[in-house]
Amino acid sequence: MVLKGNVWKFGDNIDTDIIIPARYLAHTDPKILGEHCMEPLSPDFSKKVRPGDIIVAGANFGCGSSREHAPIAISAIGIPIVIARSFARIFYRNAFNKGLALIEADIYDMVEEGDEIEIDVFSGIIKTKEKTVKAKPIPPFMVELIEAGGLMNYLKKKLEERHENL
């Protein structure tokens, strides 16, 4: 799975309240959540981002409260992957459960906002304008979660396959 898109940069310690402010948590519609993604830092972010764009962040992305709304908001605006120096563990798990790919790699200082980059999630190869970086690839099971659109879709698919084989 190769992803290519333009970079949006966010720094260290981007918490879930920045990704999707608490006042929108009553909403469950991904479209509404996406409209408010990153609103505290960039009020027009959801209007400017294009499907396939990529977030590149510093350390501890997704820290704060455990809210599944955060990866849903990111995915809802068409961002398929976030690359960061590190992720908060609960955000990491929630993201894969919701079908959002994450790669830990320190490319923050290698890219500028708007740069086009390419990521091969199977190999962990990230190509920036000037460098190629080898990050730890996403484990095959986690890739299956992403391809299925998240944990619930993955489990539904597995149950359907099991039922067909009975």
The CATH number covering residue 92 comes to 3.20.19.10
Q: What is the pLDDT of residues 52-83, one digit of tens each?
A: 999 999 999 999 988 899 999 999 999 999 99
How do 116-120 and 125-127 pair as beta strands?
Answer: antiparallel
Number of domains in the chain: 1
Strand partners, 84: 57, 104
**Domain that residue 18 falls in:** 2-164
Burial class (CB in 10 A: 0-12, 13-18, 19+), 13: middle
Whether residue 128 contacts residue 111, with contact meaning beta carbons closer than 8 Å, is answered with yes
- Tell me, yes or no, if the pTM score tops 0.85: yes
Q: How far apart are CA 138 and CA 104, in angstroms?
A: 9
Residues 6+ apart with CB under 8 A from 94: 62, 66, 67, 68, 70, 71
Q: What is the pLDDT of residues 8-56, one digit of tens each?
A: 999 999 999 999 999 999 998 999 999 999 999 999 999 999 999 999 9
Tell me 109's DSSP state. G
